[in-house]
């Protein structure tokens, strides 16, 4: 069998869009081939199956998220200020008309009852994000407190990502974040 010739990253990006919108179980192989422009044989040759493509889509999405978080932290005056900015942006996007939550959170929720490799993979990627927050908070708070605070951040992120669907006022969500994470340096205008 010959090697499939295509732009792998472009294909995975197309898969991210489809899977993010429809989920793993809600995306048929026909939809996958249409979204990626690949024939089923090429998908199987390059990714083994739909699950392999989904996992690579999760990986690409997670890596972009990790890079984005670290970039924002690197650009801010402090990790706490960056985290406030990240959370405020999440609240803003959660109130948009076509809000689509977080691909990792949606995957974890969709696949939780299946106890599958994909669920474990999504969970692993979310743990990497939590570890990134903890790593950046450790110099200020020490390892134990940084780990606890990173877990609290993730808890609140899940709340935004899931509860945002209910179209609560951004002001209500921001106030809930400020009440739940009072140790962060929230700006006065938030």
The domains of the chain are located at 8-180
Per-residue pLDDT at 190 exceeds 50: no
Angle at 135 between CA 52 and CA 90, to 5 degrees: 65
Give the pLDDT of residue 136.
98
Q: Which one, of 176, 175, 185, 133, lies nearest residue 154 by Cα?
A: 133
Rounded to a whole number of angstroms, the CA Rg of the chain reads 18
* Distance, CA of 59 to CA of 13 (rounded, Å): 11
In the CATH hierarchy, which top-level class contains the domain 8-180?
A: mainly alpha
* Distance, CA of 80 to CA of 8 (rounded, Å): 36
DSSP string, 56-105: HHHHHHHHHHHHHHHHHHHHSSSHHHHHHHHHHHHHHHHTSTT----HHH
Q: Which segments within the chain are labelled E, that is strand?
A: none
For residue range 127-178, what is the model confidence (pLDDT) as tens digits?
Answer: 999 999 999 999 999 999 999 999 999 999 999 888 776 666 888 889 999 9
pLDDT grade, residue 3 (50/70/90)? low
* Distance, CA of 134 to CA of 83 (rounded, Å): 11
Per-residue pLDDT at 15 exceeds 90: yes
Q: What are phi and psi of 23, to 5 degrees?
A: 80, 175
Per-residue pLDDT at 14 exceeds 60: yes
Give the pLDDT of residue 120.
95
Give the pLDDT of residue 114.
85
How much is the pTM?
Answer: 0.91
Per-residue pLDDT at 100 exceeds 60: yes
Helices 50-75 & 29-36, crossing angle to 10 degrees?
Answer: 50
Q: What is the mean pLDDT of residues 45-66?
A: 96
Give the pLDDT of residue 131.
98
| Residues 9 and 57: beta-carbon distance below 8 Å | no
Give the pLDDT of residue 171.
87
Question: Is the four-CA dihedral 124, 24, 89, 61 of positive or negative sign?
Answer: positive
Per-residue pLDDT at 110 exceeds 70: yes
Q: Pick the range with the lowest mean pLDDT from 39-48, 63-72, 90-99.
A: 90-99
Per-residue pLDDT at 33 exceeds 60: yes
């Amino acid at each position: 069998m010959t090697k499939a010739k295509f732009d792998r990253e472009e294909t995975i990006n197309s898969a991210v869009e489809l899977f993010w919108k429809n989920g793993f179980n809600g995306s048929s192989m026909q939809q996958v081939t249409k979204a990626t422009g690949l024939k089923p044989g090429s998908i199987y040759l390059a990714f083994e199956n739909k699950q392999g493509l989904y996992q690579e889509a999760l990986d690409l999405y997670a890596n972009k998220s990790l890079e984005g978080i670290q970039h924002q932290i690197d650009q801010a005056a402090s990790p706490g200020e960056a985290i406030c900015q990240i959370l405020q942006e999440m609240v803003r996007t959660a109130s948009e008309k076509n809000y689509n939550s977080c691909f990792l959170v949606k995957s974890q929720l969709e696949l939780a009852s299946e106890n599958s490799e994909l669920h474990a993979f999504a969970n692993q990627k979310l743990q990497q994000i939590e570890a990134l927050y903890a790593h950046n908070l450790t110099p200020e708070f020490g390892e134990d407190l940084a780990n606890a605070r990173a877990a609290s951040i993730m808890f609140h992120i899940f709340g935004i990502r899931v509860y945002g669907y209910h179209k609560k006022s951004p002001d209500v969500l921001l106030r809930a974040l400020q009440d739940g994470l009072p140790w962060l340096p929230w700006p006065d205008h938030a």
